[in-house]
Structure 1
Amino acid sequence: MSDTPFGFGLPPEEPEDGDNGKKKGGQGGSQGPANPFGFGGGSGGADNPFAALFGGMGGPGGEMNPGDLGAAFQKLGQMLSYEGGPVNWDMAKDIARQTVAQGAEDGTMDASVSPGERAAVEEAVRLADLWLDGVTSLPSGAGTVLSWSRAEWVEETLPVWKDLVDPVAERVGAAMGDVLPEEMQAMAGPLLGMMRSMGGAMFGTQIGQALGVLAGEVVGSTDVGLPLGPAGKAALLPGNIANFGSGLGVPEEEVRLYLALREAAHQRLFAHVPWLRSHLFGAVEGYARGIKVDTTKLEDVVGQLDPQHPEELQNALQQGMFQPEDTPEQKAALARLETALALVEGWVDAVVHAAASPHLPSADALRETLRRRRATGGPAEQTFATLIGLELRPRRLRDASRLWALLTDARGLDGRDALWEHPDMLPTAADLDDPDGFVHHEQLDFSELDKMLGEAAGSGTTKPDLTKETGEDGSEEGGKPGGDGEK
């Protein structure tokens, strides 16, 4: 688990431009004041909400166009007058789009999807669905197949990111607002309003930066184990798929098919397990409710703050004074979320491997590549660590995949997939530690039930109602001499 949700206390590293060594973020490497009015550290670029306003402006010599300057101050006024929720999502989207426009970490730029790429993606997803029909009892969940550019991924997934991040940001913001006594809050109303606006800008800046970087790496709408795109729509990013497959020595069509299998498998799960989305997002909200901020340092800073020296507040922010404490509620919620995500990813890993192995010579190599991507801190882990303090443990993914494979052997496709009917039926974190024990226990339970049902069928009687007791004359009794229906 990350110790710094939203990057509090640890200045996020800015990506380097591989061509000229300058920092990304529109400052062009110019030397200016160190993070003026900044939140969370870093200088310039998207790490600074103010610097982001001026990014990319000016002529070749760095001079500022008066029209650009006016537009920047207009944006600044809009930011300070923001009265929305805990995150300034307009700013987050703008910064994410700016980051996408500057290119991915490997220097590749975003581009519109060509008709040929769109056709190849549609064909891959349709073929993937056909292969999945033979390895899972869950029917197709992708009614539509989409091909996205990176900018389109930002636009299409932003609503889900709002659902994911807002509860955490709201709780942290409330903890910050609880520092001042009520009488001081009344006196400092305008200042608190500005602080809320700046807090929204701070969150929006960091989230926009993270999403912009993530958009350069994801290959579909379900890379982080959550349904980020519209329901029933499988989506892949052809440009990022090409980058992912570069250097693997695997034909591009095989890479595309394998990733289409993963996207289509996720879509089946989220389409036909209606409680799964609310279960995952409910765990995030549970994590948010457990957030408690140690405000002692903030109280000291506020009490000694000199209005003529706002850099004191800036320095305190950079030192991590808003770093949330770990609480039992947080740990329990994160454990539930981590286990559920591991089960989702493990199921997808198992069914995709079963579907791909007979058809793709590179299936084993691609499977291991994706597992190592997680183990070395891929985009999913980094983004979750930045936004909500969660890091997926690769060990859980491997254990979950093994458990689903064992269940397939023991109970078949229908018996394995039936565990998704209710969250109480799913394996727990302890079961991931001992998958063989879980499968053996499940076999015993179901073999006894099958035996009872088989005996009832052989004797010509109907299947017994196991919720009621039967009297000597065959009539149903309520379980008590009065026949009142109680056990």
Structure 2
Amino acid sequence: MTSIGGAEMVDWNLAVATATRLVRPGPDVSRDEARAVVAELRRHAKASEEHVRGFTRMGTEGVHDTPVLVVDRPGWVRANVAGFREILKPLLEKMQERRGNTPGGAVLGAVGGKVTGVELGMLLSFLSSRVLGQYETFAPATRELPAGENGGGRLLLVAPNIVHVERELDVQPHDFRLWVCLHEETHRTQFTAVPWLRDHLEGEIQSFLGETEVDPMTVLERIREAAQSLAGGRPEGEQEDDGGRSLVEIVQTPAQREILGRLTAVMSLLEGHADFVMDGVGPAVVPSVAEIREKFQQRRAKGASRLDMALRKLLGLDAKLRQYRDGERFVRA
């Protein structure tokens, strides 16, 4: 338990409640249409197993231990809160120990846990309308959200977002849904065919979290400086040397930046390989793959709005777009 006197470091239930309350409604579909979309996504996910295995020749003995879940936006939020809770446990225990030695720490923690829960909920509400699918590598099983045995993950397909994007791009729904499933199934295959990959990533993430500054005042000072830099200002007398970096990057320590560089390299490879597989399998099973690819790349590049682009920069999501491009170039080389 990461709590003192019943107060958790992060109010996870409040995070879920906040995100669920703020999440945007999905596209307008009838109940019958929604059922048809869910059924088709499940069929495509199953078919994608064979397509990806045939193209990559990667063994997938463990793939059947990782369930495929078609979820709505609140379902995606709940799954990711469970994942955050699992992966952040060591860091929160470290922060709990530090807080326990602070006068009034329990009271401050109760308030801070709720504030952090609200902030996390706001972030997840923003992301919940943008993710089409996700292979959850660190996914604890729950009653509502099953996961693979022995630490295996689960594959999430966010049905409302897939329908929204296929309508926005004006592409053939059947083809687009299969195209998305091919990408996400590739990620599932990567982790089930290469068992050490999960442990490697978890080790790097825990090393990253282990370097996290747990002194609240120091963290707040880093965030203040980062916000000033992103806003175009900086503390008096300091040189502007953070140009082009996101808030996520600026608040890191030098050791964390080194670890993040290694993580980014691995994630770029995985994302690029998934795009490569989509393009390799696509022409044989997705007739309109060229049109989908072109329109989707244009959508990735331009962003939805100035606010959306600002948030992407703030959170470092623009770096993910570079992951796709750099990783695919590496795989094709």
TM-score by length of 2: 0.72
Change (3 A) 1:204 1:147: same
Q: Following the alignment from structure 2 to structure 1, what is the Cα–Cα distance between the partners of residues 44 and 154?
A: 14
Instruction: Give yes or no for the alignment of 1:127 onto 2:47.
Output: yes
2:156 to 235, 238, 245: 235
1:153 to 52, 76, 98: 76
Higher relative CO (CA 8 A, sep ≥ 6), structure 1 or 2? 2
Post-superposition Cα deviations, 1:1-52, rounded to whole Å, max 9, x if no partner, equal xxxxxxxxxxxxxxxxxxxxxxxxxxxxxxxxxxxxxxxxxxxxxxxxxxxx
Residues 72-151 of structure 1 aligned to structure 2 (within 5 Å): 82-84=6-8, 86-100=9-23, 103=25, 114-140=34-60, 141-142=63-64, 144-151=67-74
What's the counterpart of residue 16 of structure 1?
A: none
Change (3 A) 1:334 1:384: farther
What's the counterpart of residue 220 of structure 1?
A: 133
1:218 deviates by: 1.7
Post-superposition Cα deviations, 1:355-403, rounded to whole Å, max 9, x if no partner, equal 1123323323333444455545699x968964xx676343342222122
1:280 deviates by: 2.2
Instruction: Give yes or no for the alignment of 1:255 onto 2:179.
Output: no
What's the counterpart of residue 142 of structure 2?
A: none
Q: Following the alignment from structure 1 to structure 2, what is the Cα–Cα distance between the partners of residues 280 and 355?
A: 27
1:395 to 298, 303, 322: 322
Post-superposition Cα deviations, 1:207-228, rounded to whole Å, max 9, x if no partner, equal 1111123222222233xx8565
Q: Following the alignment from structure 1 to structure 2, what is the Cα–Cα distance between the partners of residues 169 and 153?
A: 23
Q: Following the alignment from structure 1 to structure 2, what is the Cα–Cα distance between the partners of residues 217 and 295?
A: 33
What's the counterpart of residue 268 of structure 1?
A: 189
Residues 10-409 of structure 1 aligned to structure 2 (within 5 Å): 82-84=6-8, 86-100=9-23, 103=25, 114-140=34-60, 141-142=63-64, 144-166=67-89, 177=99, 185=102, 188=103, 191-222=104-135, 230-231=147-148, 233-292=154-213, 295=217, 325-376=251-302, 386=315, 392-406=319-333
Share of identical aligned residues, percent? 25
Q: Following the alignment from structure 1 to structure 2, what is the Cα–Cα distance between the partners of residues 365 and 81?
A: 57
Answer whether contact 1:214 1:383 (CA < 8 A) is retained.
Answer: no
Answer whether contact 1:265 1:351 (CA < 8 A) is retained.
Answer: yes
Higher-Rg member (1/2):
1
Instruction: Write 1 or 2 for the structure with the bigger share of helix.
Output: 2
Answer whether contact 2:271 2:323 (CA < 8 A) is retained.
Answer: no
Q: Which amino acid aligns with 2:325?
A: R
Q: Following the alignment from structure 1 to structure 2, what is the Cα–Cα distance between the partners of residues 152 and 202?
A: 22
**1:260 is paired with a residue of what secondary structure?**
helix
**1:234 is paired with a residue of what secondary structure?**
strand
Answer whether contact 1:96 1:211 (CA < 8 A) is retained.
Answer: yes
Change (3 A) 1:129 1:111: same
Answer whether contact 1:87 1:201 (CA < 8 A) is retained.
Answer: yes
Aligned residues: 293
1:164 deviates by: 3.7
Q: Following the alignment from structure 1 to structure 2, what is the Cα–Cα distance between the partners of residues 251 and 227?
A: 33
Moved more, 255-264 or 90-99: 90-99
Q: Which amino acid aligns with 2:260?
A: L
Q: How much is the aligned-residue C-alpha RMSD, in angstroms?
A: 4.1
Q: Following the alignment from structure 2 to structure 1, what is the Cα–Cα distance between the partners of residues 161 and 169?
A: 14
1:325 deviates by: 4.7
What's the counterpart of residue 27 of structure 1?
A: none
1:296 deviates by: 6.9
Q: Following the alignment from structure 2 to structure 1, what is the Cα–Cα distance between the partners of residues 203 and 30?
A: 34
Q: Following the alignment from structure 2 to structure 1, what is the Cα–Cα distance between the partners of residues 318 and 207?
A: 16
Q: Following the alignment from structure 2 to structure 1, what is the Cα–Cα distance between the partners of residues 219 and 37?
A: 54
1:288 deviates by: 2.2
Q: Which amino acid aligns with 2:15?
A: A
**2:169 is paired with a residue of what secondary structure?**
coil
